[in-house]
Copies of this chain bind each other. A is one copy, B any other.
Amino acid sequence: MGHARDIEDLIDLMARLPGLGPRSARRAVLMLLKKRGPLMAPLAQAMAHVALTAKDCTRCGNIGTTDICPICADDRRATGEICVVEDVADLWAMERTGAFKGRYHVLGGTLSALDAVGPEDLRIPRLVARVAEEGLREVILALNLTVDGQTTAHYIADVLEGSGVQVTSLAQGVPVGGELDYLDDGTIGAALRARKRF
């Protein structure tokens, strides 16, 4: 390929990132090679640092660089309610909205018979323990509206039945900016069934 084996290896590793293929990985590496001082060295250092220090929050499963993540450690967060998400990406998405002031619980996936993922493979036992330990009032299920996500939501609701905590889930309906003509039938049907007084 006309360049050193080391550079080739770097391109191969970069190409494994989501959103980058072999071609764009090559382009990214070439750009890094041209900005060795201002970008490549700091990026390599930041990545090595995070790879070394990143850890899952022992309480909620969020990724941070401390045993207890910034959200769990933040005294200003509302107590009494936690939002259950499948994945750290979902937690970040919720946080970006700024709409939720409580704490989180990251399951780390969904139940899946096909992939042999059971409750003990996720942080479901930990969730049940937290409900009791933290005296929670409400558990908000913010799981994806996929089959696996909803199966998991139903399972959690069942498990928490009788624990005294209120289990809620995100509203279903027409997304903001959504046009009926472009929405799938399931969404329109759900929005119609959940219609409310104008």
Contact = CB atoms under 8 A, between A and B. Distances in A.
Interface of A: 1-4, 6-7, 9-10, 13-14, 16-20, 24, 26-33, 36, 39-54, 62-66, 69-71, 88-89, 91-92, 94-96, 104
A49 B49 CA distance: 15
A136 to B, nearest CB: 19
A93 to B, nearest CB: 10
Contacts of A30: 63, 88-89, 92
Given A17-B31, A18-B31, A30-B89, A3 B70 contact: yes
Given A3-B70, A4-B66, A65-B4, A51 B41 contact: yes
Given A18-B24, A20-B28, A3 B62 contact: yes
A18 B31 CA distance: 8
A45 B17 CA distance: 15
A4 to B, nearest CB: 4
A71 B2 contact: yes
Contact of A24 (B19, B65, B66): B19
A16 to B, nearest CB: 6
6 contacts: A4-B54, A13-B46, A18-B24, A26-B92, A44-B47, A47-B47
